[in-house]
Every structure is written in C-alpha cells, then in structure tokens.
Amino acid sequence: MKGHGGHRGIGGAASSRRRAAVTLHDAPGGRSEASRRWLRRQLNDPYVAAARESGFRSRAAFKLEQLNQKFRFLKPGLAVVDLGSAPGGWSQVAAQTVGPSGCVVACDLLPMDPVPHVLFRQGDFTDEATDVWVREALAGRAVDVVLSDMAPATTGHPSVDHARILTLAERALAFASATLAPGGAFVTKLFQGGGEQAFVTLLRTHFQTARYAKPAASRSESSEVYIVAQGFRA
C-alpha cells in the first residue's frame, strides 16, 4: 500500500497504464471454460490492473473510493469499523483516508494479511468475543463509520443469494446501530432482488438519509448495489 495520500484513483491516466500480467496459473480451476472466462474478464478489467499497480488488495478498493468521492463519509480523523474486511481493499482505502489521526478496526471470518494502520481480528463480528475486542481496539473512541462489503457464497439462485445478503446486511445494521456515534454513517452491499427496498425503509428510521449507489468499479453485469446511510440517529 502506498502512504497516506499517495494513491491516485483510477481515471483517464489508467488507460495509459501497462496492463498487469495475468496467467492461466492465476485462474481458478486450470484450463476449464469457466477459468478461461475468468481470465478474459480479468485481462479486460482495467480495475484489476489498476489495483495491482496501486498496491490494493482487490479491485473492490475502487468501489469504496468512488462511493466516498460521492458521499464523503470518510474523512481524516474518523474511527471506522470494516466488517468482512478480507482481503483488505476497503481497509486500505479507509486507512489512507482517515490518516494517522484516525482509526480503522477490521474483522472477518477469513484471515487477512496485515494492513498498515489497521487493527484486525479473525472472527465473526456477531460473536460476543469479537464485539468486546472491537470495543477494546477502539480504546474508547466512538465509531464514526461502519463499512460492510460482505456477501455470501453465491448459489446461482438469485432469490436465495438475495435473501442471504439481506440477512448479512441486517446483522451489520444491528452492529452499526449498537456502536455508531450520533451523525455516523453506515455503508453496506446488497444484491438487487426486490427485498432491498424494505431494508432501505428500515435504514431511514435510523438515519437521516439512505441512498442507493452503484460505483463505476462495480461490474455492469453484477446485481450488487450499495446503500449509503448517513446521519445516524442515536
């Protein structure tokens, strides 16, 4: 990861960057048709190359950058909790943005390699032990922003996947409602499928605003959408 403020977001300059090398060894499943489709998508995706060149753990980092460019929920000095943080792209962006006066605490069921200026615990954020650890890691600071880019393992059945990610978002909202300071923000991912409107209506009872967004870095064929809720009513 580059130092704070050292990263340039993807834009016109990205088209002139040399595309990062991707080989069949990178593709899951060897030389199957699925792996060839994955490889073609990786080779043709400018955000994959830009993430590698910028030192980001994943292309998802650009999604958070673009969401923050629009809504400005991350600022220097804020305390941030990143739920479902692995492999660490969102934590990297959060740490860069809040700077040395801020604080980023992250957790995930999966392991995550250390990210500078980020405190990480492997575990379920709904477990009491993880909740206690998060509060201790914050050292008495109120939480300004809760981020969740969590998604379930997809089944290929849109209605099932939609229901599963709604459940994750509801759990993340419960965590945010219990930890956010007044005026805080909550950002979560959903899959479009009909039930998200009821969730947004619920958000609007807790926050002054709750708005949909699909950043440019989100693949057009993906059903994912992000909800940015701001102005938490404690």
Lookup: tokens for 38: 């994955």
Catalytic residue (choose from 63, 70, 75, 189): 189
CA 2 to chain CA mean position, Å: 19
Q: Is 189 a catalytic residue?
A: yes
- Give catalytic residues, as residue numbers: 189
